[in-house]
Amino acid sequence: MSPSNISVIAIDGPSASGKGTVAQRVAETLGFHYLDSGALYRLLGLAAGKYGIALDEEVRLAELVGRIDIRFEGEDIWLDSIKVGDELRTEEAGAAASKVAALPLVRAALLDKQRDFCRAPGLVADGRDMASVVFPGAELKIFLTASAEVRAERRYKQLIGKGMGANIAALLQDIQARDERDMQRSVAPLQQAPGAILLDTTALNVEQAVSEVLLHYRAKK
């Protein structure tokens, strides 16, 4: 639970909905800290590969959470004192994150790590269960989404822009499969939390989406 005197904006949504970019820009505008919870699961997936742990070894993965050192410094991310680059944003890393995120013991182990990011003057957190589980007392809850087709197109442009190979049909199939897995998992499934505001960004650009979140936040002040 977050301290009651610290503002928390919780932004949830499906894969490639743009919630990370929006959350980061909202945090920069307000001077708040930022938590990319999806990066924690992606980092755990990378660490599992590094230490030879299969993605279905729930107990060993939960224990690994307590051993790995994760640091966020601006836009830089460090895993066990090694700077992590674009390998964190590959489709393989995303698929691994979705698999480990479905494991109850892993989610429980990461809960305190996520709540530790809640520091003054405030926090913008994005993920799948920020509003429903991690920060249920958040001052503002947003469920940010877009059509699967638009999300696939955005991810395609993102990957191509980084010089990575991508196939838009395969990306669409992967996004639809990940949506199904995230919504059907038994623990903390992807869903619009009670009290969360639905923000469909299918027809919005990043600046418009950021403005919408800021308007909702300032309306609560």
* Contact between 117 and 6 (Cβ < 8 Å): no
Q: Is the model's pLDDT at 126 over the cut of 70?
A: yes
A 10 A CB-CB count for 50 gives: 13
| Listed residue (62, 35, 28, 33) closest to 48, CA to CA | 62
Please give the pLDDT value at position 3: 59
Q: Is the model's pLDDT at 27 over the cut of 90?
A: yes
Q: Where are the domains of the chain?
A: 7-207
SS3 call for 3: coil
Q: Is the model's pLDDT at 73 over the cut of 80?
A: no
* pLDDT, tens only, 152-177: 999 999 888 888 888 999 999 999 98
Please give the pLDDT value at position 4: 66
Tell me which residue has tokens 């995230």. Answer: 182
Give the bridge partners for 7, in sequence order: 122
Architecture of domain 7-207: 3-Layer(aba) Sandwich (3.40)
Please give the pLDDT value at position 139: 95
The predicted model scores a pTM of: 0.86
For residues 46-58, average pLDDT: 94
Please give the pLDDT value at position 208: 97
Tell me which of 124 and 183 has the higher pLDDT. Answer: 124
